[in-house]
């Protein structure tokens, strides 16, 4: 069990916990919706996806975004694939 995101308390007043699948989904969501520079101790963490919401669309932008998001997920959450195999 992992701590649920966003942080909150359960019905018993304890820190809410979540299962492995939900925890991984939460971590992916954190990466996608965080801009680089937002985190003090990890300034390079984040996809910058929100900066591109209103950017002009093009095939080149789509390919570049796909590449950067995949690379970032591999860099920051790549351990998750190993974690899933251990269980």
Give pLDDT tens digits for 60-82. 988 988 998 889 888 888 866 65
User: Which distant-in-sequence residues (6+ apart) come within 8 Å of 67 by Cβ?
Assistant: none
With tokens 């984040």, the residue in question is: 46
Lowest average pLDDT, out of 6-10, 23-27, 69-73, 81-85, goes to 81-85
pTM of the model: 0.75
pLDDT of residue 86: 47
pLDDT of residue 33: 92
CA distance 47 to 24: 16
């Amino acid at each position: 069990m992992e701590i649920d995101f966003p942080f909150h308390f359960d019905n018993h007043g304890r820190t809410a916990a979540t299962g492995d699948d939900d925890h991984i989904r939460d971590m992916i969501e954190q990466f996608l919706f965080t801009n680089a520079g937002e985190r003090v101790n990890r300034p390079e963490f984040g996809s910058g996806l929100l900066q591109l919401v209103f950017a002009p669309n093009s095939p080149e932008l789509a390919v570049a975004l796909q590449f950067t998001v995949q690379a970032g997920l591999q860099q920051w959450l790549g351990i998750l694939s190993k974690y899933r195999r251990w269980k």
